[in-house]
Amino acid sequence: MTDYAAPVRDMRFVLQELVGLDHIAALPDCESLTPDLVDAILDEAAKFAGEVLGPLNKAGDQVGSQWNDGAVRTPPGFRDAYTQFVAGGWNALGGDTEYGGQGLPTVLSTAVKEMWNAANMSFALCPLLTTGAIEALHVAGTDAQKQLYLPRMIEGVWTGTMNLTEPQAGSDLAAVRTRAEPDGDRYRIRGQKIFITYGEHDFTENIVHLVLARLPDAPEGVKGISLFVVPKFLVNPDGSLGARNDVRCLSLEHKLGIHASPTAVMAYGETEGAIGELVGEPNRGLEYMFIMMNRARFDVGLQGVAVSDRAYQQALDYARTRIQGSEAGVRGGSRVPIIRHPDVRRMLLRMKSQAEASRALAYTVAAWLDIAQRHPDAAERARSQALVDLLIPVVKGWSTELSVEVASTGVQVHGGMGFIEETGAAQFLRDAQITTIYEGTTGIQANDLVGRKIARDKGEAARAALALMSTTVAALDAAQGDDFAVMRAALHAALAQLERVVAWIVATWPTNQPAVLAGAVPTLKLFGTVAGGWQAARAALVAQAALERGDNEDPAFYRAKINTARFYADHVLAQAEGLAHAAMAGSAGVLALTEEEAFA
């Protein structure tokens, strides 16, 4: 496995030239976001990711976290790395300043989080879940709960989890059985949860679990679920730790990937009952948990970006150093690195173009998150929030599906050596697989996109996004050169297909939801593919303007941006017509046959 080197140059380009960091710096409480500060944070984060987290990745995969009688030991070096992570202030980067955070914008912390996940995804999962728990407590917790938990969680000296899934429930949260029985002003929690990431570990002295459970008089279904904060150790009013709570890790799951991340089976209330406090109002727990889940879904999409870039780096390094065969068209030529072979170049460019497009889309959505939270104009906040809500399932679903494709292509670049664990290429593919599943499978993201995000508002948010993409098509009209003509034709055609699908969903949903849902995943992939092409084209236009100005010190970088966007137009956007067909016409094959006929 090669060393991880954060793509700081591309991150700076996306932040400063594509997203427009100056616009974010103009938002309230973002005035300190100067280019010098951004550069310093990115450089230091890259150093920590490359020198501390990256070297632990392969060994952590091989050793994994170990369970022993309820206690969990993470792989050698992980606990010390987390101590350094907290001491460096990294966990507090985007935290609320009222509770000890640094208050930096989401778009900047997004770039930093990409580094953590690319260097060591198993490690990065711990602060990812803590961030989600912080969000839920920040929105729904009482003032006392916030004062008690948030400063320590934002600092990182305590971590957080989200506890939804149960053995019989899976994604069907209406089937949750965990009980919460009143006991004075607190509750006794009894039940079992599975798939709890970092449910038990040796990083910190306390773990703050957010748990979905039912009150005795709760209505059936998802309307009867409440949210409770259940710490591993009870917390005294002064913030000191009290007695051990009745919370226990029963075992760790044996997984395909992310071996260093402990995925726990958790038991609540095996004896006297785990003590918990209600978060927010009774029976609104799923609503509050979705606050966590929405943020976690974005962050998992970012994991997809990270794994794609890491797999590309590994494949690129191998292709540059692996000597095999002579160059095509050269008789009797000497043996050359495989990067000189056309098909290997095609694979590498596909990996590069998709990784960069997914990064640009994720950072753009992160910037809209900042605008939605901080802009002084309510209408602008609402507009940005609508775009965020629309595109989070795309960032999650499309970026993670891409990561599996990109990591698989990376194995292909390695040939037989990719199938051998020694090279490290296989680990990225194994790790990538989970990103399409947790925090909602790709199908769940796709159903959310077509049902809640497109059909519910009759396509209004989707049309707003399409309008933004259309402005880039118009800008391509004015650009000179064959590359831009190809980009313009490809993006225009792909955008037309997406417009057709959005209109079809709006028209079809009221009378035939199964038909729309049968094509939901192709719709999601189409939306991501077109949005990625939009970002690639924007990047090419920015690069061309920089080259024309002649005031840059890195012309090769900008020329590569144009070439990569051209490749994306030729090789990726060309898929749009097929995806649109599957989205609108594919239900016939999915729904026509009975179970007996289709699956006999």
Residue 422 carries which DSSP code? G
Residues in the chain: 600
Say if strands 274-279 and 263-268 run parallel, antiparallel, or are unpaired.
unpaired
Helix (H, G, I), strand (E, B) or coil at 411: helix
* Of residues 587, 400, 563, the one with CA closest to residue 511: 587
Residue 137 carries which DSSP code? H
The continuous run of DSSP H or E covering 243 comes out as strand 241-244
Question: HEC profile for 409-426?
Answer: HHHHHHHHHHHCHHHCHH
CA distance 478 to 501: 28
CA distance 569 to 535: 11
Residue type, 361: L
- Nearest-10 crossing angle of helices 520-549, 378-414: 90
Active site residues: 439
- Phi, psi (rounded to 5 degrees) for 427: -60, -40
**Per the structure block, which two tokens stand in for 403?**
């990561």
How far is C-alpha 524 from the geometric centre of its chain's CA atoms? 15
CA distance 393 to 396: 5
Give the Å distances, CA to CA, from 33 to 36, 99, 107, 360, 427: 8, 20, 11, 19, 36
